[in-house]
Amino acid sequence: MALTETVPAGAPPAHEGILRRQSLRESAARTYARSLPIVPVRARGLTIEGADGRRYLDCLSGAGTLALGHNHPVVLEAIRTVLDSGAPLHILDLATPVKDAFTTELFATLPGELSEKARIQFCGPAGTDAVEAAFTLVRTATGRSGLMAFSGAYHGMTSDALTASGGARHTGVTRLPYPYDYRCPFGTGGERGAELSARWTESLLDDHKSGVPRPAGMILEPVQGEGGVIPAPPNWLRRMREITAARDIPLIVDEVQTGVGRTGTFWAVEQSGIVPDVLVLSKAIGGSLPLAVIVYREELDAWQPGAHAGTFRGNQLAMAAGTATLAYVRRNGLDRRAAELGARMLARLGGLAAAHDCIGDVRGRGLMLGVELVDRAADADPTGARPADPALAAAVQRACLDRGLIVELGGRHSAVVRLLPPLTITDEQADAILDRLADAVTAAVRTTPGPLGSSPTTLRGTSA
């Protein structure tokens, strides 16, 4: 069957029928499909081709999954090798050569102190399954129940599944302020804001009347992804490590999105030098197929056999694709490449922000970049931040799609345009991405009134 269409004269294009049937048959909860009404039929590297024959630069990368882009030859080769070998494709958590190779490759990438004494648990296939496993692990190891987590965090969708299960025993999560420089919860920003967040955490833990018992663990993202591409300052991460270590609280670092070179080092924690007690991993470790694990200090391994189970923990194709991806990133220094190219892209985004007063902030680490769109007509608060402008962000996303660029929105108000390109992109592709984005921002500000009904304005320093 031809994937791209040849349509008889007068008939509606086939991809329109597919999109119409999707909107009639799929749930109202569908997400990406709403803002990206395309029908992908082929993909390679950065590029996706739609059924209508249009080509797109894909900076969503399967929500940050595709470290090597779509259908990288080493990934396809690894998958074919397993298929041709006659190995079982589904095998619960039994030992296999494919799994053995994956574990060896993964352990070779871990921060030294962790890899020497690490245990790995293969979880259900999604990132959220590994997050649940991490919580169960630290609760079992510490005998405590509560958890500490951060404002703006995203760790998955399944906590209610456990809460609703017969064996549910735990609920309490204490929410702590994440150091969000542009919208600092303490109104100071910078290192000072991050330090106040650390002190707040300390005081909750040490004040016997704070109402917060010592938790089973603390979970954080080194760069909040869905929360709006917010990198935590290295000093703050080190403070969190000290605070948790001094109080015997396991630190769980969720590297589901930041892992495998994305932020400029193989694991984002390397930039602060902290060694977590538990690392939560998914997305890129499966080389585009579903795979999730936790890796943790062996002292925490107080689980009984079967304490954390799941049917789909043995996806051999994902393990082979993952091994190939990890090895390719490591051998080709794609983490360093992400750091260099990401810094250049961020500098160019800084220029874009200087030219457009609707861009409040640009930020990121490596090839995890964000552009926060704000209401250009509103007054800035004392720290210089202006209210988010989700309508403008949606208009930028649409204008990007019109120009053949797929971007994701994130952040507290869905006003942060997120770029998560494959680590394999060339300099020219990076330029093409930024050219299209710049063009899309200019087009969107021309056509979108501000949230307060302000008239459309365009470039900084010019009148509308």
Q: Considering the rule CB under 6 A, would residue 257 count as an interface residue with ligand PMP?
A: yes
313 exposure class (CB count in 10 Å sphere: 0-12, 13-18, 19+): buried
Residues 155-174 interacting with ligand PMP (rule: CB under 6 A)? 155-156
Instruction: Please identify, using beta-carbon distances, which residue of 128 and 136 lies nearer to ligand PMP.
Output: 128
Q: Considering the rule CB under 6 A, would residue 408 count as an interface residue with ligand PMP?
A: no
Q: Nearest Cα to 59, choosing from 452, 322, 404?
A: 404
Size of interface with ligand PMP, in residues (CB under 6 A): 15
Binding mask 123-142 for ligand PMP (x = CB under 6 A): ---xxx--x-----------
Query: What are 219's strand-pairing partners?
Result: 252
CA-CA distance, 354 to 358, in Å (whole number)? Answer: 10
Residues 39-68 interacting with ligand PMP (rule: CB under 6 A)? 63
Query: What are 294's strand-pairing partners?
Result: 121, 280
Instruction: Please identify, using beta-carbon distances, which residue of 118 and 223 lies nearer to ligand PMP.
Output: 223
3-state SS string for 357-374:
CCEEEEEEECCEEEEEEE
Instruction: Please identify, using beta-carbon distances, which residue of 121 and 128 lies nearer to ligand PMP.
Output: 128
Instruction: Please identify, using beta-carbon distances, which residue of 223 and 405 lies nearer to ligand PMP.
Output: 223
Q: Considering the rule CB under 6 A, would residue 277 count as an interface residue with ligand PMP?
A: no
β-pairing, 217-220 with 147-150? parallel
Residue nearest to ligand PMP (CB): 127
CA-CA distance, 147 to 252, in Å (whole number)? Answer: 10
Of the candidate spans 77-85, 120-128, 262-270, 293-301, the one that interacts with ligand PMP by CB under 6 A turns out to be 120-128
Q: How far is the CB of 152 from ligand PMP (least distance, A)?
A: 11
CA-CA distance, 153 to 375, in Å (whole number)? Answer: 24
Q: Nearest Cα to 262, choosing from 341, 315, 172?
A: 341
Q: Considering the rule CB under 6 A, would residue 122 count as an interface residue with ligand PMP?
A: no
For ligand PMP, the binding residue among 138, 256, 367, 369 (CB under 6 A) is 256
CA-CA distance, 255 to 244, in Å (whole number)? Answer: 18
Q: Considering the rule CB under 6 A, would residue 147 count as an interface residue with ligand PMP?
A: no
Return the biggest CA–CA distance within the chain: 76
**Are the C-beta atoms of residues 219 and 148 closer than 8 Å to each other?**
yes
CA-CA distance, 313 to 303, in Å (whole number)? Answer: 17
> 3-state DSSP call for residue 292?
coil
Q: How far is the CB of 159 from ligand PMP (least distance, A)?
A: 11
Give, in degrees to the nearest 5, the angle at Cα 332 between 327 and 333.
Answer: 100
Q: Considering the rule CB under 6 A, would residue 361 count as an interface residue with ligand PMP?
A: no
Q: Considering the rule CB under 6 A, would residue 111 count as an interface residue with ligand PMP?
A: no
Q: How far is the CB of 142 from ligand PMP (least distance, A)?
A: 22
Binding mask 226-255 for ligand PMP (x = CB under 6 A): x---------------------------x-
Q: Considering the rule CB under 6 A, would residue 221 count as an interface residue with ligand PMP?
A: yes
Instruction: Please identify, using beta-carbon distances, which residue of 39 and 223 lies nearer to ligand PMP.
Output: 223
Of the candidate spans 200-208, 221-229, 337-345, 430-438, the one that interacts with ligand PMP by CB under 6 A turns out to be 221-229
Q: Nearest Cα to 107, choosing from 285, 234, 370?
A: 285
For ligand PMP, the binding residue among 135, 154, 236, 266 (CB under 6 A) is 154
**Are the C-beta atoms of residues 150 and 175 closer than 8 Å to each other?**
yes
Per DSSP, 288 falls in state: T
Binding site for ligand PMP (CB under 6 A): 63, 126-128, 131, 154-156, 221, 225-226, 254, 256-257, 282
